[in-house]
Amino acid sequence: MKTMNPLAPIPPSTTETSANLHWHNSFAHLQNDFFTRLVPSTLPSPYWVGRSLQAAQSLGLDTAWLASDEALQALTGNLVLPGSEPLASVYSGHQFGVWAGQLGDGRAILLGEIQTSAQPLRTQEIQLKGAGRTPYSRGGDGRAVLRSSIREFLCSEAMHGLGIPTTRALCVTGSDAVVRREALETAAVVTRSAPSFIRFGHFEHFSYNDQHTQLQTLTDYVIDRHYPACRDSTKFNGNPYAALLEAVSERTAHMVAQWQAVGFCHGVMNTDNMSILGLTIDYGPFQFLDGFNPAHICNHSDSQGRYAYNKQPNVAYWNLFCLGQALLPLISTTEGDQELTLAALESYKTVFPSAMEARMRAKLGLTAPQPPDRAVIESILQLLSTTHVDYTIFWRRLSNYMAQMAHAPTNAANAEPLRDLFLDRAAFDAWLLQYSEHINAVDMAQAADLMLKTNPKFVLRNHLGEQAIRAAHLKDFSEIDRLLKLLESPFDEHPGFEAYADFPPDWASGIEISCSS
């Protein structure tokens, strides 16, 4: 196949492909200040690594097409689909709390935006991650490696299965082309989708460069396409940009509350990794907690612990504050007036704790808020952290305990699997008594049903991803398929797959995931 010029412009097109994709490409219709048109770099002899039929169906794609050679070539970057307008966008950002200046899509190429037949998605952007060098690669090769691509693919779909806002992953393709990282590895490409891949850093880029016309163009684009209610909001003296900041703050608060409740650590919450739509984006050094340690740091590159699990809520607010600073030229009506911006950010401080408490109540099967709820929540989290009890297993066993109590409330043996998790059984027994008395007024069956739908049996633990990666390096992709099926419905029992919900092996604690992962 002929190698394409990576910087060759592609004229707009409305042609349909054999996949019946209806391209709109609204972002590509902005000025060139926002992006560079280019085509992906080719990879030799690509092969399928993993495909999500659920993601394909959500996009309205013909799943038969997803098995075709045309799809394989197009989603590797070897074939430009008619009607798409590939580009890489420019943005900036704060990384580990320090202004990093211009960044951008260094290895991601947006193919365009498609209109889907599935509702309520309407339109979704399709992006290839690992598709080659762009003007924003900063000396990098623009490639992704197989291990990181598998992790992003599986975690994107796992988060969707958990009901947490996220970008989706349609597929992973691989190639034996060599990529140099700490060692020699092979290349891969993740195809991911989202209503938009715009980040906080996009706004920071134009604001910090005093390009206020471009900043307003971008912000108006986001409001009109994704937050139209902000245009008509009467809050903040009718300022739509302050209304946008408040809406983003609230979405972000709800997302982070969901992360915390399920024990998810993002690992690298830079402003360029924060979605303007409140989606989980950019799966690098992520981890689901094993033992509950609030100060756990999942990113081996994070030597200062900036992005530790218990710091994520405050970091999210710090990032929103940076977004507020970027939007200040649009929000402020007079020079030095920051009151509207601060008022718009204030909602995070009320929405996050409220959303977090609601999530924790659901984990305990508490259907209506009561004054003692907070004490019950805080005391069990303290108990879990004292000896680093396995977070996911505890909540699932508690859910099963409640289900058993609904049928046999006098059977004391029901509590034994829970008690076995704690070194200090007396302390746990005291908490369980407190909890049981508090929940007495709640219908046990109703509480158990809520808990089993809230506390997953399966999460993408590091060792499960590592096992799938090791097999994939041998061209065995069956473990990826198996994990995908479990993670798509993580609240189901899946008889016969109990090992995937068991304690991590001892070697799992030695897995190191860094920003280069």
Every domain of the chain and the residues it spans: 22-200, 226-362, 366-452
pLDDT at 516: 63
Positions of the chain with pLDDT under 70:
1-19, 118-121, 333-337, 410, 412, 516-517
Say which of 176, 232, 272, 506 is annotated catalytic. 272
Residue 329's CB is within 10 A of a number of other CB atoms, namely: 16
pLDDT at 12: 36
CA separation for the pair 121, 111 (Å, rounded): 18
**Total residue length of the chain:** 517
pTM score over 0.75: yes
> Which tokens is 328 given?
């200040």
pLDDT at 21: 82
pLDDT at 120: 61
pLDDT at 5: 33
pLDDT at 11: 35
CA separation for the pair 225, 286 (Å, rounded): 30
pLDDT at 408: 76
DSSP H or E run through 92: strand 92-95
pLDDT at 19: 64
CA separation for the pair 323, 89 (Å, rounded): 18
pLDDT at 319: 98
CA separation for the pair 185, 165 (Å, rounded): 31
- To the query of whether residue 272 is one of the catalytic residues in this protein, the response is yes
DSSP 45-72: S-EEEEE-HHHHHHTT--TTGGGSHHHH
